[in-house]
Chain A
Amino acid sequence: MNETTTYTGFWQESPRPGILGWLLTTDHKRIGIMYLGCIISMFIIGAVLGLALRLELIAPGPTIMGPQTYNATFTVHGIIMIFMFLIPSIPAAFGNLLLPLHIGARDVSFPKLNLLSWYCYMAGLVLVIFAMFGGGGVPDTGWTFYVPFSTQTTTNVNLAAFAAFMLGFSSILTGINFVTTVHRLRCEGMKWGRLPLFVWTLYATAWIQVLATPMIGITLVLVILERTFGAGLFDAARGGDPILFQHLFWIYSHPAVYIMILPGMGVVSEMIPTFARKPLFGYWAMALSSLAIAFAGSLVWAHHMYASGMSDLAVLVFSFLTFIVAIPSAIKVFNWISTLHKGSIELAPPMLFALAFIFNFAIGGLGGLALGAAASDIHLHDTTFVVGHFHYVMFGGGGFALFGAMHYWLPKFTGRMYNHKVAAIGWALLFVGFNITYMAMQAVGIMGMPRRYYDYLPEFHTLNLVATIGSWMLAAGLIVMFVNLWQGLRKGAPIGKNPWGGATLEWAIPSPPPLDNFGPEDPVVTKGPYEFKGVVADEY
């Protein structure tokens, strides 16, 4: 095959040549690729920090770092993973790549705003680097910035808080863009009832991004004011209230959890029908439960605060609301499983990640029940059970969904396929290593080990050792997966339009897609996103 004449789509077609063709691009696919590059880089840095934390905890007492370094490490691990990896991961990278393709549009509503949001992300990234290496020391507040500690510590909290503020702007701009795009740019025949589920979840997510993110921006600015000018808002000695900060912080940061998981649910809802060759079971239940999660998820923030000293009445109300949000999540799980019934199931690599997502998310979600109930949360709160729990949701859910999306859609965008056997090996290492690591963490938390402890009592040793060993397996899985993807997507076998037999619009255009997505004719949609009759997967 002659490489020089190989079709390369949006990778080569550009109004500007070279690097400027990327830095000044308004093409949603190029912006998506730039996001993906940054996000994966951030993930790798965050993962290395996480492995260092686990290594420190391999035995009681100091092993590879002292307490201040440990505190700085978990703070930076959290800031990177939450604000620079999970929140932008699927929406900013795969949302940009796919949202216009899924609804038959040629770009998002505001392409220049889209580029600006990427620059806001980059500004936040640069500020975090300054916060890490500037004078004053690496921030040591944890990603939650709880006052009064965050207003007293001498480390670079202002810079880190401002970085999160900038990253918030990036998120808001993306959200505005996606809401408008879904409303305005659906192609002919793309009724609301024909939107792929991924679009529904992006739409629900975008509303949270627009409505909730300003809260974190304001709150972090208040922390900066408190630190710089002694505003006194959170200082009890001057009539302020430290618990007020926690409310303000979680009003954003709990819905942010759904920014991280909802698009992952959308990804899984695309992959399961494709690899079962069957329509998604309960389309409207799935679509509406996405909106229900976004809505109810905005009302449960104070379940992070049962032990904070807030009133018992607030505990009652927020515990009740928290259980309400469990219901749409349960509906999703049942519908995914029902989709498998009487299907024709192929365990291709993306499907493996989708099934792992269901298992991990089920454990994370069910663990959340014990945290939502008032009495049991009092014991589990601020232990490593909580750390294990949110890694099950964020990493086992959101992370695995991202990896699944990479295996499912990146061949579409590079026109080449990775090695499936190696991908399955990487998946298995990841899945087993992940569960060893975080199940051990949950168990030691039930025993009573508090989180953010760099040292611990001897009775917690065995399970910490198990978790650390699990983290090495997890790391091995990540390496296998990334190397395989990198090699396959650059040098693998070329693929046709539709390697998996998907029925959504992106599978009807060439791989990689051309700059204008659909050629001269606008697409016209006449059937739902999961009607597989007559859809044939290409051989490759």
Chain B
Amino acid sequence: MNSLANPTAQAVDNVLIYIFGVSLLLLLGITVATIYLVVKYRRSKYPEPTSDCHGNMWLEAIWTILPTLIVLTMFWYGWTNYTGLREVPDDALEITATARMWSWQFEYPDGRRANKLYVPVNKPIKVHLKSTDVLHSFFAPAFRVKRDAVPGIDTYVWFEATQPGSYDIFCAEYCGVGHADMTTSIEALAEAEYATWSQPQQPSTEPRGLTVLNELGCTGCHSLDGSEGIAPSLFELSGQQRKISVDGKLSEVTIDVEYLRRAIREPNAELVEGYDPMMPSYDDATLSDEDLQAVIDYLLGKVAEAESVQINANELLENNGCIGCHSTDGSESIAPTFKGIAEREVTIIRDGQEMTLKVDVDYLRRALLKPNEELVKGFPGIMPAADYLSDDEIEAIIQHLLKQ
């Protein structure tokens, strides 16, 4: 437990140190006394007891009153420092965190959304917690703060980062199969950096595909310079041969548009040999068809002119948490993958009837707006409807998905 010099962590750590310290002394006393008595009064030395004492009122009174006083100090210290976790400084920056199975989304006062919590240092941050489905809990161990996100109830935490850095955020309230993956981070930035980050975005001159790769975090695993890490590099992919395994069978593919589309939408369906199936799949809700095409064009070296970006379907899919469940790499655990969705025939259950249909614009629109009316067989009906998105955004996502 590294004691961090931030206000909430200090409030909690002081209590922890006090209680654990007193507890350790008591445990030591209990253990030493027990061992001493057991050894001293062993039967081989004392075949019969040397006392017939039934008790002692004074002793009982002492060890009733003393522990009472000790625990009351713990109670009071714990309570007063808890109030410090609840009283938010007036000048706090207010950010809304929306938790859903199994991702976090942070919304800033100017409407900007992100899937990491970017904050300036030395500024109190009040995070309003909302949940769209089940209980979740915002837990940032470095700041010792935790609060459940409860559907229908507004809760909050506050903290203040005093040093720039990246700090873990965990979901601490069990929320189903993706619970352990519902992690993100607080990115505490120096004031100047934060100012830059919070600027309205300039029209980008870098290729759209590269922007998307960075935004989606692809470059965290896939290098762009040919170095191999936990995932294959994306350096000069065009025309390369790759050994892949499909359901355990090895085969070889030539990297082309179709392969890359599958590798992003359903990454774990065709695994490059020697790598683990850990890439999330990017469905059209997280990576729009336009953006997917931009990524593929960029990867294959066909960088188009930076278009005037209208709606970035990629960002929509990411920031709305779609890729938390729908992989873009072909892996399927919780929800169908986006990879290859355009060419797919799906078996769905509608009104208890099973039917198979081809994925098309209408199907995708229904699946986005009323996701649980036609459930893909084998998946639970847990997707929230995307009806809060604008029509244009829905269309952008659909077009994006159809290019997968």
Q: List residues of chain A with CB under 8 Å of any chain B CB.
A: 61, 66-68, 71, 140-142, 146, 148-149, 152-154, 235-237, 241-243, 276-279, 281-285, 306-309, 312, 315-316, 319-320, 322-324, 326-327, 330-331, 333-335, 337-338, 340-347, 355, 358-359, 362-363, 366-367, 369-370, 372-383, 446-448, 450-457, 532-533
Contacts and interface: CB of A to CB of B under 8 A. Distances in A.
Given A312-B83, A331-B64, A237 B151 contact: yes
Contact of A378 (B46, B63, B145): B145
Given A344-B48, A346-B42, 17 more contacts: A152-B134, A241-B153, A242-B150, A281-B55, A307-B137, A312-B82, A320-B79, A326-B67, A327-B67, A337-B34, A345-B41, A372-B78, A373-B82, A375-B11, A376-B15, A450-B180, A456-B180
B34 A237 contact: no
Contacts of A242: 135, 150-153
B74 A276 contact: no
Contacts, number: 278
Contacts of A316: 79
B54 A283 contact: yes
A320 B75 contact: yes
Contact of B60 (A66, A331, A376): A331
Contacts of B54: 279, 281-283
B215 interface: no
Interface of B: 1, 11-12, 15-16, 19-20, 22-23, 26-27, 30-31, 33-34, 37-38, 41-43, 46-56, 59-60, 63-64, 67-68, 71-72, 74-75, 77-79, 81-86, 133-135, 137, 139, 141-142, 144-148, 150-153, 155, 168, 170-181, 183, 276, 278, 333, 380-382
Contact of B49 (A283, A344, A372, A457): A344
B180 A341 contact: no
Contacts of B183: 457
B144 A378 contact: yes
A279 B150 contact: no
A341 B20 CA distance: 28
B176 A140 contact: yes
A67 B333 contact: yes
Closest CB pairs A-B (n = 7): A236-B152, A373-B78, A448-B141, A374-B82, A342-B51, A366-B23, A375-B81
A391 to B, nearest CB: 17
Contact of A450 (B12, B85, B139): B139
B157 to A, nearest CB: 9
Contacts of A243: 150, 153
A153 B47 CA distance: 63
Contact of A379 (B38, B48, B146): B146
Contact of A454 (B41, B134, B180): B180
B159 to A, nearest CB: 12
B151 A453 contact: no
A326 B51 contact: no
Contact of B19 (A278, A345, A370): A370
Contacts of B145: 378-379
Secondary structure of the A side of the interface?
helix
B176 A373 contact: no
B75 A362 contact: no
28 contacts: A67-B179, A142-B174, A152-B134, A236-B152, A236-B153, A281-B56, A282-B60, A283-B54, A309-B147, A309-B153, A319-B75, A323-B71, A323-B75, A344-B43, A346-B43, A358-B30, A359-B30, A366-B27, A369-B22, A369-B71, A370-B15, A372-B74, A446-B16, A452-B180, A453-B179, A454-B180, A457-B183, A532-B49
A306 B294 CA distance: 48
A154 B381 CA distance: 8
B43 A285 contact: no
A369 B146 contact: no
A457 B46 CA distance: 54
Contacts of A149: 134-135, 174-176
A148 B135 contact: yes
Contact of B380 (A153, A319, A322, A446): A153
A140 B53 contact: no
Contact of B78 (A71, A279, A307, A374): A374
B154 to A, nearest CB: 9
A312 B19 CA distance: 21
Nearest to B144: A379
Contacts of A344: 41, 43, 46-50
Contacts of A367: 23
Nearest to B61: A285
Given A149-B175, A378-B145, A67 B180 contact: yes
B174 A146 contact: yes
B64 A369 contact: no
Nearest to B78: A373
A375 B15 contact: yes
A308 B72 CA distance: 24
A450 B63 contact: no
Contacts of A331: 60, 63-64, 67
B141 A447 contact: yes
Nearest to B77: A373
Contact of A345 (B43, B74, B81, B179): B43
Contacts of B134: 148-149, 152
Contacts of B170: 448, 450, 453
A382 B139 contact: yes
By CB atoms of chain B within 10 A, which of A237, A278, A345, A379 has the most? A379
Contacts of B146: 307, 378-379, 381-382
B172 A450 contact: yes
A451 B47 CA distance: 49
Nearest to B145: A378
A105 B351 CA distance: 62
A373 B177 contact: no
A279 B52 contact: yes
Contacts of A383: 172
A425 B303 CA distance: 71
By CB atoms of chain B within 10 A, which of A67, A307, A456 has the most? A307
Contacts of A380: 16
Nearest to B24: A366
Contacts of A333: 30
A342 B53 contact: yes
Contact of B150 (A68, A153, A309, A366): A309
Contacts of A323: 71-72, 74-75
A502 B30 CA distance: 26
B67 A381 contact: no
Contacts of A448: 139, 141-142, 168, 170
A334 B70 CA distance: 15
A377 B82 CA distance: 9
Given A142-B174, A319-B79, A154 B37 contact: no
B101 to A, nearest CB: 9
Given A282-B60, A346-B43, A369 B74 contact: yes
A456 B182 CA distance: 11
Contacts of B74: 323, 369, 372-373
A335 B53 CA distance: 12
B288 to A, nearest CB: 28
Contacts of B30: 333, 337, 358-359, 362
A358 B176 CA distance: 37
Contacts of A277: 48-49
Nearest to A279: B54
Contacts of A324: 71
A453 B180 contact: yes
Contacts of B37: 337, 340-341, 343, 345
A396 B139 CA distance: 29
Contacts of B86: 312
A237 B23 contact: no
Contacts of B42: 345-347
A158 B78 CA distance: 39
A216 B42 CA distance: 47
Contacts of A307: 137, 146-148, 172
A320 B79 CA distance: 9
